[in-house]
Amino acid sequence: MLKQLITLSFLLIGAVDETMTEKGDSIMFAPKEHPFTQAPQAEEGEAERCAQLANEIEALKGRPQRRHAALERYRLICSDKGRLE
């Protein structure tokens, strides 16, 4: 009986150790790429970027959080240039 208990405990410890060493990749927490979070390209002009942001703001009607974030980016990049200097 004791021999079976010891064998069972070693098997259980081995299974737990193997499970702990496996790296679980969850699709739930995978990083997501979103087109509005990509950095602007270097050759893009400031006027083009402001026009692109204005189009994004128009496209995001009905999505208040993302629209607000786009508005803040627009205000920061296009409107507040003179205030930062």
pLDDT digits (tens, 9 = 90+) for 16-42: 666 656 656 666 766 666 666 666 555
Residue 28 half-sphere exposure, CB side, CA atoms within 13 Å? 2
Query: Per-residue pLDDT tens for 60-80?
Result: 999 999 999 999 999 988 875
pLDDT in the model for residue 3: 83
32-66 burial string, b = 16+ CB within 10 Å, else e?
eeeeeeeeeeeeeeeeebeeebeebbeebeeeeee
Residue 82, pLDDT > 70, answer no
Instruction: Tell if the pTM clears 0.75, that is, is over it.
Output: no
